[in-house]
Structure 1
Amino acid sequence: MPIKQYAGYAFLILALFLLLYFYTKKRKYPPKKRQQTMLIFTSVYVTTLVFLLVIRFLESANLMNIAFIFPAAFMPVILKILLNERYAFFGVIVVGVTSLFIFESDTTSIMNVLMVAFILLSGLTGVVALKDYSRRIMIFQTGLIVGAMNVIYAILLLAINNSTLFSLNALQVIFYAFIGGIGSFMLGLALIPLFETIFGLLTTSRLIELANPNHPLLKKILMKAPGTYHHSMMVANLAESCADEIGANSLLVRVGCFYHDIGKTLRPPYFVENQLQGINPHDRLTPKQSRDIILAHTTDGADILKENHMPQPIIDIARMHHGTTVLKYFYFKEKEVNPEILESEFRYSGPKPPTKEIAIINIADSVEAAVRSCEMPTKEKISTIVDGIIRDRILDGQFTECDISLKELERIRETLKRTLNGIYHQRIQYPDDSKGETK
């Protein structure tokens, strides 16, 4: 192939990646997220290019029709799971253009054009067919669907090429096409964990695994701090409802809530939900000693999660879910004996919530604790608590680092009230019968 053709294809691929860069930039991602997105796309593309070159080598070794075994849906499927559907469709285009270059021969052949068409159709089918990728079995089932569609595409392309449909050659093409469809998803299942590890990604399937009650860290919370475990489950229900309401990542919110207070497992009795029979160890401590123990649970939690190689978004939730809020109770208690004490000395280390998901958990965590400690919570009391906590967070500037809007905060407010009223609704008191049993 002449050098100018190599140069032409190289510049064409470069142009596509420039479009990808400007599209990513237009999405207004933070610089770190933009770099990560480009690295993921490039890494998946290089992996796909290796597959293409291997297929081309096998084809040059006189393995007839082996090109149809190429896992055309691999790159789009990986990109849909790791990034989103738009990047997946962009991946289909990039693979199609690259395959036109790879399968180009010295003599123009209609079979090369049909091969590129097959790759584009298979890739598009993979993106459209893959809907539920929270479970690996669903990914495998989608692979079977794409394999079946590949068979149909192969038959149609053979017909267009005026090939005999009942020949050994045609059956070979159909078999390879089916294997290529399934292979795309099998390779995806095998390599997704690798990409997750390399780039520190948190996919839906990974979140599902972390939500398993049998996870060692969740069992640790249950055994060492059962009150905290119950509190975390309640916060998860509240926060998930709020995330659904404003379109945030509800699964991340739910799983993050499960682990957000794991730092309390180091000193369970010092947190009110784990105190039994009214025994409060803080009664024996100074406000500053109590402050140090309470404030440390966010950094302790982040350290525990790091030691257990948990994904970074879960670690961030544990560290940031209190933002830089003030530990008011012990601050005012210390102020009684030391009027000169600075409020900043009783603030969490933060930082402030940088995402909507952490902002939601910030609110839901405080609301659940406040309502739980409220005696006989009524609709009016719940409304006052929710309004007061959200107002304090806004006035304290806790949401200045994330893009949550006042409209979204209002929807969160109403969702919390509605959900809490459903949990703490007043029950009818049934009269006792003569045996003291409830009728």
Structure 2
Amino acid sequence: MNLKKLERRAAALALAAVVGIQPVLAGSYKLTIPSGYTSPFVDVQKGDWYYNYVAAVNSKGYIDGYGNGYFGANDSLSAGAALVMVLKAAGSGNIAATDSHWASGYADYAVSNGYLTRAEIGDLDGAMPRILVAELAAKALGLSPSQAKSPFSDVNDGYLTALYEMGVITGSTENGKTVFLPDKPISRAEISVIIWQIDRVHTYGKQILFQNTYYDILDGVPVNSYSSSYFSKDSNGYMTYNEPGVETALGIDVSVYQGEIDWQKVADAGIDFAIIRVGYRGYGSEGKMMPDKYFTQNIEGALAAGLDVGVYYFSQAITVEEAQEEAAYVIEQVKDYDLSYPVVFDWERQNYAGSRTQKVPSVSTMCKMANAFCADITAAGYEAMVYFNPSEGYSQYDLSKLMDYPFWLAQYNSRPTFYYDFDMWQYTSSGRVSGISGNVDMNIRFFR
């Protein structure tokens, strides 16, 4: 059997560096725009985009006004104010003045900790460039420079990129490009949002933001190191990835829903591989195992056309024993075929009344089911793989418990933004390929 066994990447480029503070909460937590705070400043009124942030960070003691009832939202942030606000939000506490300037103690603190030099700080009453504010924030939070490609077209700074990856800084858009304007002063309104985010990172540690929920970073799981700049569409509308040293293959996954397929036309259209549904477990409480009616026709047609072939089982298992039952079924069905691509555990929730997976099993059970399925598949001599979308990958599985098997990510974006590493990407469910009537899932597999 010609197996294309991929080794899991033992190391990958880190997209962000480690925060020196352990998260207070386990699992995930919600972060919303602050609410319930009241601004004491006459020039910060409800309806202003920065109102909630200014009110919140002022209540926390990180930001003050001018002493005359005014905040000065559009004023440039002074070096002294930047030092006080950023360092307090990052956990410095109150620092007494060391000379006549009210921010002098914070300046000494920043210099003694290696955050900024005296020359970089300059006049405490003068404006501080936003790139220095960013570097101050990153260093005060204990971040190391990120090695990832800068998201900004006008500056490449590892500390700034690390802050971007954590959602502390987002930048702005000019002429269709994301820019940071590193030498421009930052306004007091803008810093209020950044201070709110710095406080979040200091309080909870480094986490992943997905759909308004933050998830703890899993130890030992390689991170997504694919550079967005290497992804593009070719003349056929197929996804490509052109990083030097990385080979790819283009594929589809199909089931009875694609109907009759002309597999020779599919091969002639430039498709390299097909992942074919071998069967599924019923949605209802009985959970009866069913074959895909087109499995035999599809696998024999794809192999005859010269495609590399793998299979997937659409699981609705709720116990380890059921997952093993599914693996045994798959092994029996594929024993007469030459599989060169993985056998995939595809567990997906069905959220409707009567669905046996409306209530998702515990993370522990999900991992045990996936591992049991994949272990049996591997023991039979096939390559096993686990399929999930970002929500499932973050919340239903603990990926650190599945590291013996490659991951197949389903995320329908122009670029994959999932935090962790994966070996295959299902990038659309609405692909069009000659030989198939209607839409089809399309995938790209990576070989490093």
Would you say same fold, with TM above 0.5?
no
User: Which of 1 and 2 has higher RCO (CA within 8 Å, sep 6+)?
Assistant: 2
TM-score by length of structure 1 reads: 0.25
The structure with the greater share of residues assigned to helix is 1
Bigger proportion of residues as strand? 2
Q: Which has the greater radius of gyration? A: 1
TM-score of the two chains, using structure 2 as the length reference: 0.25
